[in-house]
Amino acid sequence: MSRNWALIVGVNQYNHHPDQNLRFAVRDAELMRDFLVNGAGFPENQVICCLGQEQSRNQNTSGLTQLKRVL
């Protein structure tokens, strides 16, 4: 089992700050995931992604909780 883990967050739209919305954060995060899995040898199940609109604190905490269990 690989010791490498990644948590990737990509958010395009912010509900409380629409003037700070981004256009390509989700796509960039997906490309990073693809690189880590296909180029850097990370096991797919060891790359945790939180993608989409504004991620709630609970969604990000869930990703961190997954990492905490294995680290």
Q: For the chain, how far is it from start to end, CA to CA, in angstroms?
A: 13
- pLDDT at position 26 is 92
Confidence of residue 54 (pLDDT cuts 50, 70, 90): low
Q: Where are the domains of the chain?
A: 6-70
CB 1 within 8 A of CB 42: no
pLDDT top residue among 5 and 71: 5
- State which amino acid sits at residue 22: L
pTM of the model: 0.77
CA–CA separation, 41 and 38 (whole Å): 6
Helix (H, G, I), strand (E, B), or coil: what is residue 30? helix
